[in-house]
Amino acid sequence: MIPRRYDRNIASLGMEGQERLFRCHVLVAGCGGLGGVVVEILARAGVGTLTLVDGDVFSESNLNRQLLAKEDNFGRLKAEAAEARVKEINGHVNVWAVPHMLTEDNCQSLLAGVDLAIDALDSNLARAVLYKGCKEAKVPVIHGALGGMIGQVGRYRPWEKTHFDVFEGSLPDAGIEVAAGTPSFTPYVIGALEAAEAIKYLAEVEEIRWGTLTLVDLAIMSMETLEL
């Protein structure tokens, strides 16, 4: 029997789609602005197992945009706060906090048994490690990044090009958020789009446009998807 909490899911995902979510294992790399939103949605949707990776801690500057940041948890590890949040909202989800940064040393072990990786990172160096690891482990990845009112969402299978290939390694470690800042709403839009792509893929309810990068400009409410 599927719990009543998933009734509204089933209208869109179907019984079989919901059951597929129960059996899936997702790694979320980064539990800050994007990752907090992704974790919230995946847990509520009923993804069976979540591995949450982040070695950073909360600070006051996170309060304007990060779902898991609170006035009383400055200095708390983001991965542990994300784990606690999942347990609060869905006790049926198996959740594992990894309070360390993603590195070449731990990437392969973290990806073992994973069906999908979510890139909610804020470092291109860390992204490069994740993408290399996903290629080796044959794990698809959903990418998200943002700066100011602009964001992007990518969908990459292990054998496909990513936006790193398009820019030929010329990307700096930090993106435009350093100069443009991050208003409260942008992470919620981009994080929700990442989660939507993940759930559609895992539940097998819609075709995913793999090998594409969607650019979102909230200032003028435009969205364009590029073939890579």
CATH code of 46's domain: 3.40.50.720
Res 178: pLDDT: 63
List pLDDT tens digits, range 158-193.
999 898 887 765 666 666 666 668 999 999 999 999
pTM of this prediction? 0.94
Res 2: pLDDT: 83
Q: What is the DSSP string of the chain?
A: ---GGGHHHHHHHHHHHHHHHHH-EEEEE--SHHHHHHHHHHHHHT-SEEEEE---B--GGGTTT-TT--TT-TT-BHHHHHHHHHHHH-TTSEEEEE-S---TTTHHHHHTT-SEEEE--S-HHHHHHHHHHHHHHT--EEEEEEETTEEEEEEE-TTS--HHHHHTT---SS-THHHH---TTHHHHHHHHHHHHHHHHHHT-S---TTEEEEEETTTTEEEEEE-
Res 152: pLDDT: 96
Provide the number of structural domains found in the chain.
Answer: 1
Res 18: pLDDT: 97
Q: What string of pLDDT tens digits covers the 228 residues of the chain?
A: 788 999 999 999 999 999 999 999 999 999 999 999 999 999 999 999 999 999 999 999 999 999 999 999 999 999 999 999 999 999 999 999 999 999 999 999 999 999 999 999 999 999 999 999 999 999 999 999 999 999 999 999 999 989 888 776 566 666 666 666 899 999 999 999 999 999 999 999 999 999 999 999 999 999 999 998
Res 166: pLDDT: 79
Q: Which residue has the tokens 């059996």?
A: 23
Domain that includes residue 122, residue range: 4-227
